[in-house]
Structure 1
Amino acid sequence: MSRLAVLVPGGSGQLGRDLAALGGADGSDIEVRAPGSAELDVTEAGAVVEAVATLATSARESGRVPVVINAAAYTAVDAAEDDEERAFAVNADGPRVLAAACTSRRVPLVHVSTDYVFSGDGDRPYEPDDALGPRTAYGRTKAAGEDAVLGSGAQAWIVRTSWLYGAAGENFVRTMVRLERERDTVSVVDDQRGSPTWTADLAGGLLELAGLVAAGEGPRRRILHCSGGGDTTWCGLARAVFAELGADPERVRPCGTDEYPRPAPRPAYSVLSDASWREAGLTPLRPWPEALHAFFQDS
């Protein structure tokens, strides 16, 4: 495997932190720099150009192959409905600037995207070539980011994922841990289905992809899907969290989406097929219940 130097915009988020942790593991051939938005704002073109130029120069001087993994994103799904301009700046303009900088320095780019680019009304796992139909500002801006990257001429890959949780930041799993302590019962929607994905597992997959790209063996397909194996509902995931905590899963009560209206509609079905990931020779992520158990063992 090639020795890598990886730049991770969005390094203060849950995925960025796990990418940095894996890259810094003992004996790793991967060197990761993961600046947060305060250090590297992807909407600031000058800063992005400088960061990619520095990565390219320092990597090649040290005999490493440079790769950018873009984990920066505006992910406040409900807030984006009233702040689509800012969401577009981060989710679409930022990737466009990154892709241009990567093109000029001949640095490969792996861009992380989301299940929200689909309509969410499917009945089978989504494939990369399925028609897009985002129904939220967040989904529209992420779809625009994909278009910007793919149309840039950069040596780039899009990796869509779903239902992320990790040790850092706010996410559904951490919220359920808190609510288990605070409430006797919790009502959770049971009519939205997807694939929970531990950011540590996704980080490992992204670095595996980066290794292939650095070795000149990047997948022919430029859009890939990577998420935890299997699928469940938010209620099913919440009950699994309670079980991991040693609490009674029946304290989680199923309810319908209509009982919890939100500014941004949630997709009823957002399961992503990992066939493209497997076809690329990449290691599929483990089943989501195994990953959730490992998350709690690691916490």
Structure 2
Amino acid sequence: MILVFGQTGQIARALQELAPEAQFLGRADADLSDPAACARVITDHRPKVVINAAAYTAVDRAEEEIELATIINGEAPGAMAEACARLSIPLVHISTDYVFDGTGDDRRKPSDPVAPVNSYGRTKELGERRIREAGAIHAILRTSWVFSPHGSNFVRTMVRLGGEREELRVVADQVGGPTPAKAIAEACLAMAGKLADNRDCSGTYHFAGEPDVSWADFAREIFRLSNMDVRVHDVATDEFPTPATRPANSRLDCSDTAALGIARPDWRISLKETLDLMEKS
């Protein structure tokens, strides 16, 4: 049995479609603000694999709610990993490109030094360290710019704003790989299978959509595929100050994941599918 922490988030919802037989835990079943309770759930269920698809993801609010974000993103995954280590259960954990400082233009490798520039990134990096320290069989899957037909994400925001305005100013100096939630869910299940077959696969991996693109060009493609006549104006990050600093370079080197047979998805294909589903809903 697969035990999934998360129920309503983008990736958890995608997992429900792909693996409806799995056990999905919402906040009422396992509150990540109580790490010990998360560990007890694993001990009680004794699943074949655990996937942590839950997190504190409010990047700007994390600057104020540092303690809560630290518990949910840092301590809870550590407690899960400790329980998994005791029972020899593989753990797949979703992390983020925000563990890097976002400098330069190169794609970051899993082995590159981390240096998060905001509280959200620091709490996610803490979660990674706690998992490694626990000694669990694990796959930490760093991803970026998640989108789906559900929840809060850039695609849904652009479609909403595009229906209200003829022109939009969008940041053009941040570059990354938009990643469909469905593809991440598929990668999580694939990684779970890899860990079950070969525990030497344990480690940190990157998984993001391709090709890399700026937010502004991503927005243009959203409007093109939506047949929306919206003009996008390129602007710099410093013209849109936010409580949390965003990394300018979110490019991820996904070659280690590809070597396992998990290829980067073409976000343009998934974007079309996502927009079609949004239109039907």
Q: Tell me if both proteins adopt one fold, taking TM over 0.5 as the criterion.
A: yes
Check whether the contact 1:12–1:34 (CA below 8 A) recurs between aligned residues.
no
Structure 1 partner of 2:112: 130
Partner AA of 1:194 in structure 2: G
Which of 55, 77, 80 is the matching residue for 1:95? Answer: 77
Decide which of 270, 279, 284 is 2:263's aligned counterpart: 284
The answer as to 2:147 corresponding to 1:147 is no
Pick the aligned partner of 1:10 from 1, 6, 14.
6
SS at match of 1:151: helix
Q: In 2, Cα distance between the equivalents of 1:205 and 1:108?
A: 15
Secondary structure at 1:102 match in 2: helix
1:248 partnered with 2:238: no
Q: Does 1:79 align with 2:69?
A: no
Instruction: Give the match for residue 234 of structure 1.
Output: 215
Q: Verify: 1:293 aligned to 2:272, yes or no.
A: yes
Give the alignment partner of residue 18 of structure 2, picking from 18, 22, 47: 22
Q: Give the residue type in structure 1 aligned to 2:223.
A: F
Match of 2:52 among 61, 64, 70: 70
| One-letter amino acid of the counterpart of residue 22, structure 2 | V
Whether the 8 Å CA contact 2:169–2:234 is kept in 1: the answer is yes
One-letter code aligned to 2:213: T
Query: Residue 75 of structure 1: SS of its match in structure 2?
Result: coil
Is the Cα–Cα contact under 8 Å of residues 139 and 191 in structure 2 kept in the other structure?
no
Worse-superposed segment, 130-139 or 104-113:
104-113
Measured after TM superposition, the shift of residue 8 of structure 1 is 1.2
Could you give the per-residue CA deviations for residues 78-101 of structure 1, whole angstroms, max 9, x where no partner exists?
111111111101000110111111
> Contact 1:9–1:72 at 8 Å: present in 2 too?
yes
User: 2:166, 2:29 → 1: CA distance?
Assistant: 42
**What letter is aligned with 1:173?**
V
Match of 2:245 in 1: 265
Partner SS for 1:159: strand
Amino acid at match of 2:5: P
Q: 1:17–1:34: 8 Å Cα contact kept in structure 2?
A: no
Alignment partner of 2:138 out of 156, 159, 168? 156
TM-score of the superposed pair, with normalisation by structure 2? 0.94
Letter paired with 1:105: L
| Alpha-carbon distance in 1 for matches of 2:263, 2:85 | 29
8 Å CA contact 1:20, 1:33 repeated in 2: no
Instruction: Rate the CA distance shift 1:252–1:221 in 2: closer, same or farther, 3 A.
Output: same
* 2:170 aligned partner: 188
Structure 2 residues without counterparts, runs of 5 or longer: none
Match of 2:23 in 1: 33
Structure 2 residue aligned with 1:50: 40
- What is the deviation of 1:218? 4.3
Alpha-carbon separation, structure 2, partners of 1:219 and 1:181: 49
Compute the RMSD of aligned alpha carbons.
1.4
Partner SS, residue 213 of structure 1:
helix
Per-residue deviation at 1:46?
Answer: 4.3
Letter in 2 for 1:227: A
Q: Is the 8 A contact 1:231 1:288 kept in 2?
A: no
CA distance in 2, matches of 1:230, 1:44: 39
Measured in 2, the distance between the counterparts of 1:182 and 1:14 equals: 25
**Pairwise CA distance, 1:253:** 1.5
Q: CA deviation at 1:221?
A: 5.3
CA distance in 1, matches of 2:23, 2:244: 33
Shift of 1:170: 0.8
Is contact 1:42–1:98 with CA below 8 Å preserved after alignment?
A: no
Equivalent AA in structure 2 for residue 271 of structure 1: R
Aligned residues: 278
1:297 Cα shift?
A: 3.0
Secondary structure of 1:34's match?
strand
> How far apart, in 2, do the equivalents of 1:132 and 1:49 lie?
27
